[in-house]
């Protein structure tokens, strides 16, 4: 990467020849070019961070802009989205989510937000398929999902993924319930169960 001294020499070589443009140190023109060279070197070094910031998975400085483009924070942003890790997870989920109605899709969605869940779908009692003693889950139960999650989901501070000033641990399940209820098929009912 070119330094300020490299840029200063480059700027001097771009000057037209003659006594009106002195190239010696200590002159006003030399000092002016020195100031320009420092700024050019700074801009050049900042250009190296652009590929990192262009990727939402690794962005730091442009995270606010990425969130604005994705419409975040939204009504489902909770305690976990107050951390840098949580904000990135929410952003990546929003940008990469393709939608779906299957259990697997919602388990994967919860996992991308930082939650480990299982989903049980109730099926209606049917003669010949169901056994004696099984629950009669006709009516609205046909469209009910039981979503099991750990009692408390904890996000721990991690060097390189968290920012200075963040809490060492953040916990909460509010984002999980809101996001799954927001994206679930309209005809389904979700029941959340935490812990054992």
DSSP character string of 110-166: HHHTT---EEEE-----TTTS-TTS----GGGGGEEEEEE-SS-EEE--TTTS-TT-
193 three-class SS: strand
Give the integer Cα–Cα distance in Å for 128 and 82. 51
Range with lowest mean pLDDT among 75-84, 98-107, 109-118, 187-196: 75-84
Contact between residue 89 and residue 179 where contact means Cβ atoms under 8 Å apart: no
Give the integer Cα–Cα distance in Å for 139 and 148. 22
For the cut 80, the answer to whether the pLDDT of residue 155 exceeds it is no
What pLDDT, on a 0 to 100 scale, did the predictor assign at position 116? 87
Comparing CA positions, the residue from 61, 11, 18 lying closest to residue 36 is 11
Range with lowest mean pLDDT among 20-34, 38-52, 61-75, 121-135: 121-135
Range with lowest mean pLDDT among 20-24, 104-108, 169-173, 179-183: 169-173
Comparing CA positions, the residue from 38, 54, 52, 47 lying closest to residue 6 is 38
What pLDDT, on a 0 to 100 scale, did the predictor assign at position 84? 83
What pLDDT, on a 0 to 100 scale, did the predictor assign at position 139? 66
- At residue 50, φ and ψ (nearest 5 deg) are -60, -45
Strands 144-149, 189-194: pairing is: parallel
Q: For 87-118, how does the pLDDT look when each residue is reduced to its tens digit (9 = 90+)?
A: 888 898 888 877 788 889 999 888 887 788 99
What pLDDT, on a 0 to 100 scale, did the predictor assign at position 4? 92
């Amino acid at each position: 990467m070119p330094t300020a001294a490299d840029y200063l020499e480059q700027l001097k070589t771009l000057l037209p020849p003659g006594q009106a443009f002195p190239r010696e140190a200590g002159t006003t023109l030399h000092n002016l070019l020195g100031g320009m060279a420092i700024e050019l070197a700074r801009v050049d070094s900042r250009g190296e961070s652009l590929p990192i910031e262009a990727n939402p998975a690794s962005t730091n400085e442009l995270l606010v802009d990425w969130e604005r483009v994705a419409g975040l924070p939204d009504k489902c942003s909770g305690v976990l989205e107050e951390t840098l890790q949580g904000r990135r997870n929410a952003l990546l989920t929003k940008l990469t989510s393709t939608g779906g109605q299957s259990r697997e899709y919602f388990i994967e969605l919860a996992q991308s937000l930082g939650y480990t869940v299982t989903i049980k779908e109730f099926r209606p009692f049917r003669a010949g398929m169901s056994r004696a003693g099984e629950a009669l889950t006709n009516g609205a139960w046909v469209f009910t999902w039981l979503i099991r999650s750990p009692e408390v989901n904890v996000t721990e501070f991690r060097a390189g993924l968290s920012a200075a000033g963040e809490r060492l641990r953040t916990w909460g399940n509010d984002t999980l319930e809101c996001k799954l209820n927001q994206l679930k098929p309209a005809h389904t009912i979700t029941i959340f169960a935490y812990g054992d």
